[in-house]
Structure 1
Amino acid sequence: MAVSWRAAAQEALYGPGGFYLANRPAAHFRTSVHAAPGLFAEAIGELLSRVDHALGRPDPLDLVDVGAGGGELLSALSVPSGIGRRLRLTAVERGPRPEGVGFRWTAEVPEVTGLLVANEWLDNVPLDVVCRDAAGVDRVVLVSPSGAESLGPAVAGPDAAWLERWWPLREPGERAEIGLARDVAWAAAARRVRRGLAVAVDYGHVSDARPAGGTLTGYRDGRQVPPVPDGTCDLTAHVAMDSLAPGAALRRQRDVLRALGISAGLPPREQASTDPAGYLRALSSTSRAAELLDPDGLGAFWWLFQPQNAEDSQLLDLEPFEGDAADRAEGRRV
């Protein structure tokens, strides 16, 4: 039986025996955390320190990782003892808690005073796919368990309003992915931040650069595969970042990470003679940083910053992110 992509993906990913309940994400795809866990966690730790300072060093101070996978980000985190004594770590994930994890593990977003991070979570929130037919009517795309598609009913109601505002179709055969479910999911998560900052990090697009034909795809065993909603592969689509929280600050990952102290600059060559082991470690760190900052890869990811009240908005310094100057200083070696 053919159903909407949103319904099919919900069952395939999160239903009984679904992909995310039966698999660890790291076995099938790499996020920034998997590419450079120490460096990415270092950047999150720096951001957390800024939030802590802005909030007047609350006790407890929360760091909540939504869509935590195997808990890699929180496991790699290192913070000063002054923060560590007050820090409350929470992983939000539907999958089972891995062995050895000592922080809180829950399926629901708790109340937060501090920092909430959703790194590559929203791209896995199921959504509907639509297509404009030969008569100019935008219709919901239906899919069978084998991946065969057909056109269903006309898009209507809030979905039609979202489509018209954020991703209007112009020609027959054009496709779009309606991000309303993700907007609702993000708003619900961000509302759990009582004081502090909510940050969404993901691959995505904005209204002046929507991808022709959409982005829905699958991943299995580290390889991109056709999206088939049978529970054997990850199903993901890029996020319409500007619809999540209109007016919120959006920055590219390469700019944010540089502002948080991550650099792909090469170590001084003389260190190779005076400290060979340290030089090799620095080169390895440079290589990992380069992947995080790559403008054609992870560095092109979007970060959305959403302070949760006017006071926090004034205190949390999100500016400036001097990406162009940093690119020139590093000579685009990444």
Structure 2
Amino acid sequence: MTWMRWAPAMEQALYDPDGGFYRRPEGPAGHFRTSVHASPLFARAVARLLLEVDAALGRPEELAFVDVGAGRGELLLGVLDALPAEVRDRLRPYGVEIADRPAHLPSTALWTDELPRGLTGLLFANEWLDNVPLDAGEVDGNGVLRYVEVDTATGEERLGGPVSDADAAWAARWWPVRRPGDFVEFGGPRDAAWARAVAGLDRGLAVAVDYGHLAGSRPPLATRTGFREGREVAPVPDGSCDVTAHVALDSAAAPGLHSLWTTQREALRALGVSGARPALALASTDPVAYLRALSGAGEGAELTDSAGLGSFGWVLQAVRMPVPTSLETLVGWQTLTS
């Protein structure tokens, strides 16, 4: 048996150069489906958001689009395809990912495993923070908050030593636990990772999209889970499956910025994605257009399903720019305080 705290176990399982899950050639799409894979409507909505940002920034000479956790470049390509030529000519696209550069990317796209700096534009992280490794803790029978350790071969868990002062302070602020059996997933590493990403913008908008929760609605049970070949599996950190955990989105929001939150359902609706079926009369006048619209409605319904992808949280943070008016007025944003 090899016992480790959850953070180093996740780091090894997901990112180890010699067999980490995200180094595998098939990429994430070989194991699970994100909004990007569900429909091209998602990339088109992000492209519309990028156009909103471009306008709010005064259409800068160089506009950046940063796809953090870019997988195999699916979102990056979808956004590029959806932009008008005038914007593409000014665009500097970045894919941030540890995997090798996909061969099909255009030469204008910069592929890097480092978060870029000094940019003006849109930074977008879709299902990235849930894969940033983090530790978990549980209150023991004596009221002491201890780390949860995991056997990397079997996924079996046990309680380890008392948590650090930093993790205890994070829990006290964001996820208070008091009674024996209470658990917490320490979000400090996600907070730091997102702060580093947002710091790359001189001016622009940073958006994190993920499974998540806010204070007052923390999950009653551990959220760690695994995915392999399209199925949810036990989160055994042996490199054979994805290991993920939901994100404390209010904690992650970088301090000192205008920070807003909404669900993916509301955000995508504001960006023109709808699951509404086309008028039946269209079937008589233009059957091909009707079938096309019907297919798009099905994809839009999946992306905005409040019991599925539509329940994801969107955190939006403006860096030295106004929040695009159309978004702030159309979406039922909730202001986050850090």
Instruction: State which of 61, 64, 67 in structure 1 corresponds to 2:63.
Output: 61
Q: Tell me which residue corresponds to 1:117.
A: 124
Instruction: State which of 241, 246, 249 in structure 2 corresponds to 1:233.
Output: 241
Q: Distance in 2 between matches of 1:222 and 1:29?
A: 5
**Which amino acid in the other structure matches residue 91 of structure 1?**
G
Q: CA deviation at 1:314?
A: 5.8
Relative to the length of structure 1, the TM-score reads 0.93
Relative to the length of structure 2, the TM-score reads 0.92
Q: Distance in 2 between matches of 1:193 and 1:95?
A: 23
Q: CA deviation at 1:184?
A: 0.2
Q: Distance in 2 between matches of 1:215 and 1:141?
A: 13
Q: CA deviation at 1:315?
A: 5.9
Q: CA deviation at 1:170?
A: 2.7
CA shift digits 1:119-178 (9 cap, x unpaired) = 000000000011111111110011122212111111122111001111111321122100
Q: CA deviation at 1:290?
A: 0.2
Instruction: State which of 21, 31, 34 in structure 2 corresponds to 1:31.
Output: 34
Q: CA deviation at 1:110?
A: 1.1
Q: Tell me which residue corresponds to 1:217.
A: 225
* Aligned residues: CA RMSD: 1.5
Task: After TM superposition, list the pairs within 5 Å mapping 1:111-190 onto structure 2.
Answer: 111=117, 112-146=119-153, 147-190=155-198
Q: Distance in 1 between matches of 2:243 and 2:312?
A: 18
Instruction: State which of 196, 201, 213 in structure 1 corresponds to 2:209.
Output: 201
CA shift digits 1:228-254 (9 cap, x unpaired) = 110000000000001012561011111
**Which amino acid in the other structure matches residue 61 of structure 1?**
L
CA shift digits 1:64-89 (9 cap, x unpaired) = 10001111111112111221110111
CA shift digits 1:103-123 (9 cap, x unpaired) = 221101112210000000000
Q: Distance in 2 between matches of 1:211 and 1:163?
A: 14
CA contact (8 A) 1:12 1:18 kept: yes
Q: Distance in 2 between matches of 1:96 and 1:284?
A: 33
Structure 2 residue matching 1:303: 3-state secondary structure: strand
Cα distance change, pair 187–316 in 1 and its aligned pair in 2 (3 A) = farther
Q: Tell me which residue corresponds to 1:332.
A: none
Instruction: State which of 20, 25, 50 in structure 1 corresponds to 2:22.
Output: 20
Instruction: State which of 86, 89, 95 in structure 1 corresponds to 2:90.
Output: 86
Deviates more, 1:19-28 or 1:312-321: 312-321
Q: Tell me which residue corresponds to 2:329.
A: 320
Structure 2 residue matching 1:47: 3-state secondary structure: helix
CA contact (8 A) 2:68 2:128 kept: yes
Q: Distance in 1 between matches of 2:276 and 2:286?
A: 17
CA contact (8 A) 2:150 2:157 kept: yes
Instruction: State which of 269, 288, 294 in structure 2 corresponds to 1:258.
Output: 269
Q: Tell me which residue corresponds to 2:336.
A: none
Q: Tell me which residue corresponds to 1:106.
A: 112
**Which amino acid in the other structure matches residue 171 of structure 1?**
R
Structure 2 residue matching 1:248: 3-state secondary structure: strand
Q: Distance in 2 between matches of 1:314 and 1:219?
A: 35
Structure 2 residue matching 1:131: 3-state secondary structure: strand
Q: CA deviation at 1:322?
A: 4.6
**Which amino acid in the other structure matches residue 321 of structure 1?**
L
Q: Alignment length, in residue pairs? A: 321
- Unaligned stretches of 5+ in structure 2? 334-338
Q: CA deviation at 1:316?
A: 5.8
CA contact (8 A) 2:140 2:180 kept: yes
Q: Distance in 1 between matches of 2:189 and 2:138?
A: 18
Structure 1 residue matching 2:330: 3-state secondary structure: coil
CA contact (8 A) 1:60 1:88 kept: yes
Q: CA deviation at 1:9?
A: 0.5
- Unaligned stretches of 5+ in structure 1? 325-334
Structure 2 residue matching 1:305: 3-state secondary structure: strand
**Which amino acid in the other structure matches residue 140 of structure 2?**
D
Structure 1 residue matching 2:124: 3-state secondary structure: strand
CA contact (8 A) 1:66 1:92 kept: yes
**Which amino acid in the other structure matches residue 127 of structure 2?**
E
